Amino acid sequence: MATVVQKNGIKPLANGNLVGHVEKMKQGGDESIAILHTEEQVRGEPVLGVNNSEESKNAVDTLENVEADPSATAAPEESAPEIDIVINNVVCSFSVRCHLNLRQIALRGANVEYRRENGMVTMKIRKPYTTASLWSSGKVTCTGATSEEAAHTAARRYARCLQKLGFNARFGNFRVVNVLGTCSMPFGIRLAPFSEKHQGIASYEPELHPGVTYKLKEPKATLKIFSTGSVTVTGKNLFLPLDMVKM
């Protein structure tokens, strides 16, 4: 997975600000550090987010920053645990701009499933390993890619598949709908006090979901924070989860 991320030009990165956090921990010096520490992080986010949205006008710039970060901080703290963010899923949608005869696809296509009750055909390819849902309107959603680039190639491959099946398929209206990244903190998080501190943006309903749902406005993203320290980030754009890791 990491290699795919790297191919995209984005390195799995050590948490750039981690050293700072560790120092704060030393200042705090008691057991409630973990929570304090996370609060620090989360407060830090929006600011970083703003910075980054400015930067992301120039994507290369952002990448350079990202790459520069670990080198800046890697040396001094040898004990600093690494926090990698991994992009797990990229969902994109596109249109082939023609009507699709689902039955024809189901009968002649390869690696297809057509359950009429769902009203769509599910098609899979192995490289990049993704699943596409094809609707008769010509709209296609493709899930499972591990980078935006992979999602794009997968989407084009599905369009080509449909073209080979005899449809007048074109490739239009491609957009990344959702990006999911996960990372894991080297400490646990006490969710109840955490969500109390962040009322409004964080919601914690243990009966509905075991994690805190933390909604960010500025880079629009939703974080699910779990007591084990695992964090999942969903957003519309690949740079958002990457911003998160800089917190």
Partner 1 sequence: MTYQLYRNTTLGNTLQETLDELIQYGQITPQLAIKILLLFDKSINNALPSRVRSRLTFKAGRLNTYRFCDNVWTFMLNDVEFREVQEVAKVDKVKIVACDGKNTEGKV
What residue spans of the chain are helical by DSSP H?
2-7, 18-28, 33-55, 59-73, 102-108, 148-164, 191-197, 239-245
Q: What are the helix and strand counts (H, E) for the chain?
A: 8, 10
**Of 108 and 220, which has the nearer Cβ to partner 1?**
108
CB of 127 to partner 1, least distance (A): 14
Burial zone of 149 (CB within 10 Å; 0-12 exposed, 13-18 middle, 19+ buried): middle
Least distance in Å: CB of 110 to partner 1? 4
CB of 11 to partner 1, least distance (A): 34
Binding site residues, partner 1, CB under 8 A: 103, 106-107, 109-115
Per the structure block, which two tokens stand in for 163?
Answer: 């073209």
**Are 191 and 227 a contacting pair, CB within 8 Å?**
yes
The nearer residue to partner 1, 124 or 236, going by C-beta atoms, is: 124
Tokens of 32: 């409630």
* CB nearer partner 1, residue 103 or residue 220: 103
Nearer to partner 1, 154 or 212 (CB): 154
Least CB distance from residue 107 to partner 1, whole Å? 6
Query: Tokens 């957009």, residue?
Result: 175
- Is the distance from CB of 222 to CB of 235 less than 8 angstroms? yes
Give me the least distance between CB of 94 and partner 1, in Å please. 23
Rounded to whole angstroms, the Cα distance separating 95 from 177 reads: 13
Q: 114 or 226: whose CB is closer to partner 1?
A: 114
